[in-house]
Chains A and B, each alone.
Chain A
Amino acid sequence: MRAFEYANPATKEQAVGLLSNSWGETEVLAGGTDLISLMKDEVIAPKRLVNIKGITELHGIATNIKTGLRIGATATIQDLLDNAIVHRTFPALWDAAEGITSPQIRNMGTVGGDLCQRPRCWYYRGGYGLFAKTEKGDPLVPGGDNRYHAILGNSGPAYFVNPSSLAPALIAYGATFRVFGSSGKRDIPAEKFFLTPKSEGEREYDLKSNEILTEIIVPMAAGARGVTYEVRQKEALDWPLAAASVVVNLAAGKVRSARIVLGHVAPVPWRSQDAEAALVGHAIDEKTAQAAAEAAVKDASPLSRNGYKVQLARVAVKRAILAAAKGGVR
């Protein structure tokens, strides 16, 4: 790890003032569970870290019956799991938090950190850049070991998958992300926050290098049934091979509205409006859940070694829908 300067601001205004206006110079430190390993592996070498854990207004989770759930960016994964409203009213979000099975990461890792963590692509982590290229500029992923890479939205140059556990559920609940920068605050729909970078120097989310994510607002989901289903090989901490968050509203036994968002299948959390359309107006059963699952992966174009992920994504969607019909409320 390279030497760096450490800044410990008390307000978000101070924090933003300490951040550089170009990427790479400074990084935001919250739980540090991803950032520190990136620095140890010398994937990044920021000159200054800006710790935002000391900013009180970024802490905690609060509920307001009108405006909904407000999650501070530095609330931990464990804070989500311990919150009775999250457990009862936003089960898809609670399920997603539960999928992070390491107690250490649950207690250190933050909600904002989960949303802003960098891709786990092993070429990126091995020092070949976000687009994983050789020195000559040839892409390594299409002809390399891409077993964990994207099956959707993968026409390049980004082939990695978005690693966030919580993003699919937050998008399914129609959350808004609030960011703060030198020109004040901006509200971004969760779905629009995540971007597929097209050139080196772009990030995977709609943040400038001198902006910070401050809070997440989730509208109250009265009557909604929500489930997140992760296909993970291990019970112990393990990245999902595919995941799906489903939030449905039923009326007279039929689906009135649905939001279906897949995780770990594309460079962004992947909302499937085709799957939603396949479900709306129908009662949920094996057949309709399967039809929605097929619609979700209809456009999948697997790489050389990740064809199996199409099947896993299909299963994740089907099982999440069936579980939402049976439960999805607490």
Chain B
Amino acid sequence: MSASSRRASVDALDQLFAKAAPALNAQPGDLESVGGAIRVKSDPGKSLTWAQACGKLGGLPLTVRGKNPGPGNLISQGVGGIQMADVSVDIETGIVKMNRMVAVQDCGLIIDLKTAESQVYGALIMGICSALYEEKIMDQNTGKMLNPNMEFYKLAGIGDIGELMVHMMTGKGYDERGPIGLGEPPTVSPGAAISNAVANAVGVRVPYLPLTPDKVLAALEKKGGANHAGI
């Protein structure tokens, strides 16, 4: 589905509400379309079947043309989002475990909420992988990649992801800007959010990604041997 077909559908429904409203003694804005019926939001008993509502259209069918905003009106940049990570760090081993991650994301007009959310879930999962696991390891002496396999080029499994929560911004201020991008924007934050969570947990910053046990332990040692605190 495209943005223009969504705009056309929404506009066509608004016109149908305008035609059906007098028969229900209501204003067009008070109507909703639910389960094949047009009904009054505050009084669902007052309703017309879809066929009855269409009967109010008269002789001519509704013809609506959806149009995207023209050049200059379509904002194609400047999406916003925020992410927060909740992690546990084993200070004896340097292993970081994801507990939870929350993403709030704007991408202008959302055409299909479920697939938009799914895009952000995917971004969080890949973001966790790059923050904790993924690394292209090149050998300095031979110039060859040492981990061109799924064994040492590590990716998270389900148990490594933790709980994910995604909230998409919709409504006034978002929808009228038209659809903007959603592929990359939510992949920007996970590394920083997870790294910040680790720094907050252990009191020292680990200034590298991925946050592997060797790097976390080295940072802890630099801080003052926290890794030896418990052993």
Using CB atoms and an 8 Å cutoff, list the residues of chain A in contact with chain B: 101, 120, 122-123, 125-126, 128, 134, 140, 143-145, 147-148, 231, 233-239, 241, 290, 293, 305-306, 308, 311-312, 314-315, 318
B25 at the interface (CB under 8 A from A): no
CB pair A234 B141 closer than 8 Å: no
**Apart from A122-B146, A128-B142, what 11 extra A-B contacts exist at CB < 8 Å?**
A101-B159, A123-B139, A123-B146, A143-B141, A148-B152, A233-B213, A234-B154, A234-B156, A235-B159, A238-B154, A239-B151
Partner of A144, one of B140, B152, B157: B140
**Chain A hits for B94, CB < 8 A:** 308
Minimal beta-carbon separation of B169 from chain A (angstroms) = 32
CB pair A308 B146 closer than 8 Å: no
CB pair A234 B160 closer than 8 Å: yes
Partner of A311, one of B132, B158, B217: B217
Minimal beta-carbon separation of A15 from chain B (angstroms) = 29
**Chain B hits for A290, CB < 8 A:** 231
CB pair B146 A145 closer than 8 Å: yes
B12 at the interface (CB under 8 A from A): no
A-B contact pairs, 25 of them (CB 8 A): A101-B159, A120-B152, A122-B146, A122-B152, A126-B146, A140-B141, A144-B142, A145-B140, A148-B152, A233-B95, A233-B132, A233-B133, A234-B133, A234-B159, A236-B157, A236-B159, A236-B160, A237-B157, A239-B151, A290-B231, A308-B217, A311-B92, A311-B217, A312-B213, A314-B231
Closest to A294 in B: B231
CB pair A308 B213 closer than 8 Å: yes
Q: A233–B92 Cα gap in the complex (Å)?
A: 13
Closest to A140 in B: B141
B147 at the interface (CB under 8 A from A): yes
Interface residues of B in 142-181 (CB under 8 A from A): 142, 144, 146-147, 149, 151-152, 154-160
Number of interface residues of B (CB under 8 A): 31
Using CB atoms and an 8 Å cutoff, list the residues of chain B in contact with chain A: 92-95, 132-133, 137, 139-142, 144, 146-147, 149, 151-152, 154-160, 212-214, 217-218, 227, 231
The 10 A-B pairs of least Cβ separation, nearest first, read: A236-B157, A235-B159, A308-B214, A122-B146, A315-B92, A308-B217, A235-B160, A234-B160, A231-B93, A315-B93
Partner of B158, one of A125, A236, A305: A236
**Chain A hits for B92, CB < 8 A:** 311, 315
**Chain A hits for B152, CB < 8 A:** 120, 122, 148, 239
CB pair B231 A134 closer than 8 Å: no
Minimal beta-carbon separation of B104 from chain A (angstroms) = 27
**Chain A hits for B157, CB < 8 A:** 101, 234-237
Closest to B148 in A: A126
* Given A126-B146, A239-B151, A308-B94: A145 and B156 interface contact (C-beta under 8 Å): no
Minimal beta-carbon separation of A306 from chain B (angstroms) = 8
Q: A122–B145 Cα gap in the complex (Å)?
A: 9
Q: A314–B155 Cα gap in the complex (Å)?
A: 26
Closest to B228 in A: A311
Q: A293–B154 Cα gap in the complex (Å)?
A: 29
Partner of A145, one of B132, B139, B213, B227: B139
**Chain A hits for B213, CB < 8 A:** 231, 233, 241, 308, 312
Q: A264–B187 Cα gap in the complex (Å)?
A: 34
CB pair A318 B133 closer than 8 Å: no
Minimal beta-carbon separation of A130 from chain B (angstroms) = 16
CB pair B141 A144 closer than 8 Å: yes
**Chain A hits for B160, CB < 8 A:** 234-236
**Chain A hits for B144, CB < 8 A:** 126
Q: A244–B45 Cα gap in the complex (Å)?
A: 70
**Chain A hits for B140, CB < 8 A:** 144-145
**Chain B hits for A134, CB < 8 A:** 141-142
**Chain B hits for A237, CB < 8 A:** 157
Minimal beta-carbon separation of B111 from chain A (angstroms) = 33
Partner of B139, one of A144, A238, A318: A144
Minimal beta-carbon separation of B226 from chain A (angstroms) = 12
Q: A126–B158 Cα gap in the complex (Å)?
A: 29
Minimal beta-carbon separation of A32 from chain B (angstroms) = 16
**Chain A hits for B147, CB < 8 A:** 122
Minimal beta-carbon separation of B140 from chain A (angstroms) = 7
Q: A55–B159 Cα gap in the complex (Å)?
A: 37
Q: Which residue, B137, B154, B214, has most C-beta atoms of chain A within 10 A?
A: B214
**Chain A hits for B139, CB < 8 A:** 123, 140, 144-145
**Chain B hits for A293, CB < 8 A:** 231
Minimal beta-carbon separation of A61 from chain B (angstroms) = 27
Q: A308–B218 Cα gap in the complex (Å)?
A: 8
**Chain B hits for A239, CB < 8 A:** 151-152
Q: A143–B56 Cα gap in the complex (Å)?
A: 83
Q: A124–B133 Cα gap in the complex (Å)?
A: 22
Minimal beta-carbon separation of B222 from chain A (angstroms) = 13
Minimal beta-carbon separation of A262 from chain B (angstroms) = 15
**Chain B hits for A312, CB < 8 A:** 93, 213
**Chain A hits for B141, CB < 8 A:** 134, 140, 143-144
* Given A143-B141, A231-B93: A315 and B231 interface contact (C-beta under 8 Å): yes
